[in-house]
Amino acid sequence: MTRSTARELAIHCSFSLGFTTITPEELLEERFNRELFEEWATECTLYEELPKGKQKEYIKQLVCGVGNHGPELDEYIAKYASNWKFERIPRTATAIMRVAMYEVLYMPQVPNKVAINEAVEIAKSYEDEKTVAFINGILGTFVKNELAEENDNASHVGD
């Protein structure tokens, strides 16, 4: 399983978190069983391979991270969604942006450009061109502004 496939599975799970009261860990346990994957594989090639090892851990880190940091991630989305009410943003787009923002903020081993590019490529399978451009714009502005603020704050330490 590729990292891109694992990321897309994490987006599916993150999307589902918005429709349930179970914890991210419970959702993952429920989702990642062979029978369910075999059933879903008949409808979606994404489910042809059950995640194992590093990819399973990567998915778990993303889904639990998004679940635990959801309000913070949603604040960033709302902040950079100029002239858009958060409620108007498609839920799939929100799930994609949450995962990418979580990677940028909490997974330094994932380059920011990779997180954004992967989010945009995945979005192309689910959203129209305007929404894909919207996602790209929000993520690009988020990285530019939030990481610039972080770097500015770090440069003033000890002054």
The residue to which tokens 């979580």 are assigned: 102
* C-alpha dist (Å) from residue 5 to 28, 95, 139: 16, 15, 20
> Tens of pLDDT along 7-64?
999 999 999 998 989 999 999 999 998 999 999 999 999 999 999 999 999 999 999 9
* C-alpha dist (Å) from residue 27 to 2, 3, 21, 69, 84: 21, 20, 9, 16, 30
The residue among 102, 103, 92 whose CA lies nearest residue 134 is 92
Task: State residue 58's pLDDT score.
Answer: 96
Q: Under CATH, what is the fold of the domain 3-155?
A: N-utilizing Substance Protein B Homolog; Chain A (1.10.940)
Task: State residue 18's pLDDT score.
Answer: 87
> Tens of pLDDT along 64-94?
999 999 999 999 999 999 888 888 899 999 9
Query: What does the pLDDT average to over 101-108?
Result: 96
- Domain limits of the chain? 3-155
CA-CA-CA-CA dihedral for 42, 45, 47, 50, to nearest 10:
110
